[in-house]
């Protein structure tokens, strides 16, 4: 079975991780822009980072038979430095138009502040202007409140739900995400959702318009957690075609809307 991890931070992973992912059947990944572990002080440091994940990481992944794409954005964790955030957003478009950038993301809330809302709303408007897909980051704290406010903004800006994925859902927010009508994702991560909790969500809501990802970053994450979730589903006697839809077909269906996903390369992989 082939696997597509629709949200993983390869910047923080080693080449050994790429090898393990490839050996386990991971054939495609999407890397959203994220916080690097310490605050950045200059717009140029963001732009260097965007160049890295758009150019270097695809080459690194390709050595292990993995097709690597990105999402580009001013992330919510650093959005409270408004002057810097707006300078970064001023320079986003050249990176958003890159053929490896499939969506604007991650955008959303961290501490659910006025500044974060301003930064998110501006980027949602750019997505609307450029007809781009959007990856939403739901906050780690006050998650339901943040998800409700995010969905309100998505509707206010007038984005098509088909072009939006609301990520980091859990049992407290999945009903909101499903009701919005877009795509819903769960991150299999010690502090987010376990494979068992993801399967509980699938039992309630099915696997249509659902995705699972690792968001593997600096924390206690595992870049094989999509594969592990598939194994848990197999143990629970889910049909192979249902599992394949979740871990391969659904990410392709969502990201192909960008017009940049090279489907022939993925099928060859």
Average pLDDT for runs of 10 along the chain of length 269 = 97 96 98 92 96 98 96 96 97 98 97 98 98 97 96 98 98 98 97 96 97 94 97 97 97 97 72
| Alpha-carbon torsion (88, 91, 95, 97), positive or negative | positive
CA distance 130 to 124: 10
Closest CA to 191 of 145, 141, 149, 232: 141
Here the tokens at position 211 are 């995705």
**CATH class label, 3-268:** alpha beta
Quick one: pLDDT at residue 223?
97
Find the radius of gyration of the CA atoms of the chain. 17
Q: What is the domain partition of the chain in residue ranges? A: 3-268
Please confirm whether the linkage preceding 106 is cis (ω < 30° from 0).
yes
Quick one: pLDDT at residue 37?
87
pTM score, whole prediction: 0.96
CA distance 28 to 51: 19
Q: Could you tell me how many residues make up the chain?
A: 269
């Amino acid at each position: 079975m082939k696997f597509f991890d629709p949200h993983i931070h390869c910047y923080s992973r080693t080449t050994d991780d790429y090898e393990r992912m490839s050996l386990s059947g991971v054939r495609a990944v999407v890397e959203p822009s994220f916080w690097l572990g310490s605050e950045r002080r200059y717009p140029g440091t963001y732009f260097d980072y965007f160049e890295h994940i758009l150019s270097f990481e695809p080459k690194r992944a390709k050595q292990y038979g993995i097709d690597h794409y990105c999402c580009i954005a001013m992330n919510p964790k650093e959005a409270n430095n408004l002057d810097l955030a707006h300078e970064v957003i001023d320079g986003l478009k050249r990176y958003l138009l890159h053929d490896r950038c499939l969506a604007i993301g991650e955008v959303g809330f961290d501490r659910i502040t006025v500044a974060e809302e301003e930064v998110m709303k501006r980027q949602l408007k750019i997505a609307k202007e450029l007809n781009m897909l959007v990856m939403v980051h739901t906050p780690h704290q006050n998650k339901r409140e943040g998800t409700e406010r995010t969905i309100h903004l998505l509707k206010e800006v007038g984005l098509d739900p088909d072009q939006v994925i609301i990520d980091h859902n859990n049992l407290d927010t999945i009903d909101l995400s499903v009701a919005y009508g877009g795509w819903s994702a769960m991150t299999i991560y010690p502090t987010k959702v376990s494979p068992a909790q993801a399967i509980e969500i699938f039992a309630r809501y099915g696997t249509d318009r659902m995705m699972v990802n690792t968001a593997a970053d600096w924390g206690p994450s595992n870049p094989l957690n999509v594969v592990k979730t598939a194994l848990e589903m197999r143990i629970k006697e889910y049909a192979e075609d249902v599992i394949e839809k979740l871990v391969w077909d659904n990410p392709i269906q969502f990201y192909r809307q960008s017009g940049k996903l090279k489907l022939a390369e993925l099928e060859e992989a």
